[in-house]
Structure 1
Amino acid sequence: MSVRRLRAVLRALHLVPAVALVLYVYTPLADVESFRTVVQIVSVPLLGLTGLALWQAPRILARRRRRAAEPR
């Protein structure tokens, strides 16, 4: 997978839970117990992980390239 494709996938994975979080905050869906549970257990951690991955992607990929280039 190319770096551009990886970034596009991470961005999409970041935007979907962001929309769910916006719906949770600004609509009456916060009163629905199942939606609240999904937002709290799935969306918020996924936002954190994808945000970190987008932020640190250059460092992670550079480290992977260095490790792959090292002789074993």
Structure 2
Amino acid sequence: MTITKDTLIGEALDYDVTLSKYFMEMGMHCLGCPASRGETIEQACEVHGVDCDDLLKKLNAHDGAKNVLR
């Protein structure tokens, strides 16, 4: 899965829950909230003042559970 600015946070976490650490690092501590899971990566970055391109690089470079579970 390639994560883009239009990817919903919920989709990214459903794909690989270990990505949650990057959202937590940016101050998004409400990942279980239905509203946050329906936000796009871009929307979350705007709200939390995070550079979207930097976050996308981290998310797409992450080598976590996706490789263990698939």
The answer, yes or no, to whether TM exceeds 0.5 is no
Larger Cα Rg: Structure 1 or Structure 2? Answer: 1
* Higher share in helix: 1
| TM-score normalised per structure 2 | 0.31
| TM-score normalised per structure 1 | 0.30
